[in-house]
Structure 1
Amino acid sequence: MIPTMQPADDYGPPPDSLTTNSDRPRTRFLKTNCEIKLGFWNIRTMVQLSKTEQVVNEMDNYGLDILALSEVRWTGAGSQTLKKGSTILHSGTEKKKEAGVAIMLSKSASRALTKWTPINERIIVARFTGRQAKLTVVACYAPTNEADDTTKDNFYNTLQAVAKDIPSHDLVCFVGDFNAKVGSDKSYCPEVLGSQGLGEINENGILLVDFALTNDLIIGGTQFQHKTIHKYSWNSPDGRTHIQIDHILINKEWKSSLQDVRAYRGADVASDHALMIAKLSLKLKAKKNPKQKRNLPTTLKSSQTQQFVIGSTYSLQTGLRAWP
């Protein structure tokens, strides 16, 4: 089991809403027919205060409930209440300002938060409890495709341990910059991929697809038809290369709850990555009881029921006698 780390002392204890274990929070969060906007964005850095304010403003502009951030470059682990009532949870290295992940929450998402776990500078986990479901969001920042095999293996081994620790009934979303091109060839792994991917799969893409297949997940950005400009998430400095490396993975049993995934290029915080937004709307399936017996209509009177049974028995007996 992955231990839950406490926020850093520099930031003090988290607000009460971040530690509650209430099964029925006072919020419409995670309720059927209520849309949830889950964003994920590599912002390159958020060391400067002005950059943090920019991100908060963009979150508010796009009406996001949850925003997973990568390459935050904050040290340590902790939580802060920001302007406009949003809250940020973050996880980074102890001293070096490199990598770093965070999850920014709206007021309603903050009230629904029941647990969060800073794993390391590349993974942070948050769990939310709503009226009709529980949601676990895992914000990720994977090593680049050029990283050595040991670094990649360490990342995916840790991510697999996190996945194993998540309750099986949760709606689960792994989101962030995976530095993975999964390609446009759905036939490579139709259990995981849709037909709307871009380019050719790379080594990181193979690792991501294998992880998704192992954990019964689909890669959401490959499922929805959009213009190419709304699919790719990274632009090269010269503007000539566009690739799709930021992804959302969701468990298959909740696939129908994922309504859309696309890039929003209007959001600007001086990053070469686009803001990606996934729209979720809970779709719950009614459970049927196979042992439930079908009762006769209550409108039948007892005398009518007796006549029905006697008549049916007589017809059956008559039919048997007439059979040669």
Structure 2
Amino acid sequence: MMNTRRVDILCVQETRWRGNKAKEIRRGCKLLYSGAEENGRSGVGIIVNSELKEKVVEVKRSGSRIMKVKLMLSEEVLNVISAYAPQAGCDEEEMSMFWRELDEVLTSISEEERVVLGGDLNGHIGTDRRVTSRIHGGLGMGERNEEGEGIIDFAVAFDMALINSFFMKKDYVTYRSGGRDGQIDFLLCRRQHLKEVKDCKVIYGENVGQQHKLVAVDLSIQKGTKGKRKSNPKIKWWELEKAENVELRSRFKENVLREIKLEDDVNDWWEFNSNVILRNIIDDGVANEREVPRISRREVRWALSKMKKCSGNRWNTSRGVEVLRRGGD
């Protein structure tokens, strides 16, 4: 299939293969995979063609749901991530762990390097792109669900474009089971590199799984078009999500929710609330004041999104910016 469809790199999920291995398969392609859990669930892999397999310089496995392969393509570095999110209804801690581990993988990658993530993310992002128009193209199907909110939060935090949503097609279905259709398989890239994507489509007829369809992206990497130079984030956001940091997480939420304000002017809203969040993460030791003089807007959105489930609060996006409002005010 990779040869007939001219696929250079293929991300696969729910492989259920045991162990963490790499092996040669048909037509010179190389399969690298991160093994399934003891109960035979999950498992992810990345297959590279005969030409690109010689350009692999790093393989990083993060459990049975996430793995990354780094390739050196002439002057450019490409990181390919294969991810398999827990299904709806899974334990909340398992879901949180998945997004925390994926956050850590993205944080470890220099912003000068390209990233393409291919995953069965088990969520519906819908077509509503208010507030999230930078990373959501507005094309797709269905309504956004709770799992889809997690996908959007991740994309906003790391400025990753949901490629599927930027290309108009007759059909967006990537998953079909028992008469139900859905779009739960996605390809993402850094928003600054979206211009290098020529097309994204769902290909039917290929035997990639009993229920899932092949999602393909045509990517043309432009040499010498590196992104803006930035150091890796110095804010250790993942510390707030560690299971053992319940007290730290609760204190952060309580302090931010108590101090946060509504402002009529959007810029004033960002300025005030970003300072609230930054002051609290410094006080709690999640960031160093000398290393983080200010906080980006995307980090404000990310931090606030993590508090959506706080009781007595709801979100209002009608003004084109995420605003936290108390109760029914």
TM range (shorter): 0.5 to 0.7
How many angstroms apart in 1 are the aligned matches of 2:48 and 2:42? 20
Please tell me whether residue 176 in structure 1 is matched to residue 115 in structure 2: no
Q: Aligned match of 2:149 in 206, 230, 255? A: 206
One-letter amino acid of the structure 1 residue matched with residue 204 of structure 2 = R
Is the Cα–Cα contact under 8 Å of residues 124 and 148 in structure 2 kept in the other structure?
yes
How many angstroms apart in 2 are the aligned matches of 1:69 and 1:100? 9
TM-score (norm 1): 0.67
Deviations 1:267-324 (A, max 9, x none): 124511001111101235669xxxxxxxxxxxxxxxxxxxxxxxxxxxxxxxxxxxxx
1:208 alignment partner, SS class = helix
Counterpart in the other structure of 1:51: none
Q: Aligned match of 1:127 in 70, 83, 86? A: 70
One-letter amino acid of the structure 1 residue matched with residue 176 of structure 2 = N
Counterpart in the other structure of 2:47: 104
Counterpart in the other structure of 2:133: 190
Q: How does 1:214-233 map to 2 (within 5 A)?
A: 214-228=157-171, 231-233=172-174
- The structure-2 alpha-carbon separation of the partners of 1:279 and 1:243, relative to structure 1 and needing over 3 Å to count, comes to same
- The structure-2 alpha-carbon separation of the partners of 1:213 and 1:114, relative to structure 1 and needing over 3 Å to count, comes to same
Q: Aligned match of 1:85 in 28, 32, 46? A: 28
1:73 alignment partner, SS class = coil
Q: How does 1:205-284 map to 2 (within 5 A)?
A: 205-228=148-171, 231-237=172-178, 239=179, 241-284=180-223
How many angstroms apart in 2 are the aligned matches of 1:206 and 1:95? 29
How many angstroms apart in 1 are the aligned matches of 2:108 and 2:188? 16
Higher relative contact order (CA 8 A, sep 6+): 1
Is the Cα–Cα contact under 8 Å of residues 220 and 247 in structure 1 kept in the other structure?
yes
Count of aligned positions: 226
How many angstroms apart in 1 are the aligned matches of 2:169 and 2:134? 21
The offset of 1:232, in angstroms, is 1.2
The offset of 1:221, in angstroms, is 0.3
Q: How does 1:59-70 map to 2 (within 5 A)?
A: 59-70=2-13
Deviations 1:67-87 (A, max 9, x none): 000010011101001121110
1:107 alignment partner, SS class = coil
2:82 alignment partner, SS class = strand
The offset of 1:218, in angstroms, is 0.9
The offset of 1:148, in angstroms, is 2.4
TM-score (norm 2): 0.66
Q: How does 1:29-48 map to 2 (within 5 A)?
A: none
Taking only the aligned residue pairs, the percentage that are identical comes to 27
How many angstroms apart in 2 are the aligned matches of 1:112 and 1:106? 10
Is the Cα–Cα contact under 8 Å of residues 75 and 96 in structure 1 kept in the other structure?
no
Query: For the aligned residues, what is the CA RMSD?
Result: 1.5
Please tell me whether residue 143 in structure 1 is matched to residue 82 in structure 2: no
The offset of 1:188, in angstroms, is 4.8
1:222 alignment partner, SS class = helix
1:59 alignment partner, SS class = coil
Is the Cα–Cα contact under 8 Å of residues 194 and 222 in structure 1 kept in the other structure?
yes
The offset of 1:216, in angstroms, is 1.0
The offset of 1:266, in angstroms, is 1.7
How many angstroms apart in 2 are the aligned matches of 1:214 and 1:125? 19
1:186 alignment partner, SS class = coil
Greater Rg, structure 1 or structure 2? Answer: 1
2:217 alignment partner, SS class = strand
How many angstroms apart in 1 are the aligned matches of 2:25 and 2:128? 42
One-letter amino acid of the structure 2 residue matched with residue 202 of structure 1 = N
- The structure-2 alpha-carbon separation of the partners of 1:122 and 1:286, relative to structure 1 and needing over 3 Å to count, comes to closer
2:103 alignment partner, SS class = helix
How many angstroms apart in 1 are the aligned matches of 2:67 and 2:158? 18
The offset of 1:140, in angstroms, is 0.2
One-letter amino acid of the structure 2 residue matched with residue 172 of structure 1 = V
How many angstroms apart in 1 are the aligned matches of 2:12 and 2:40? 15
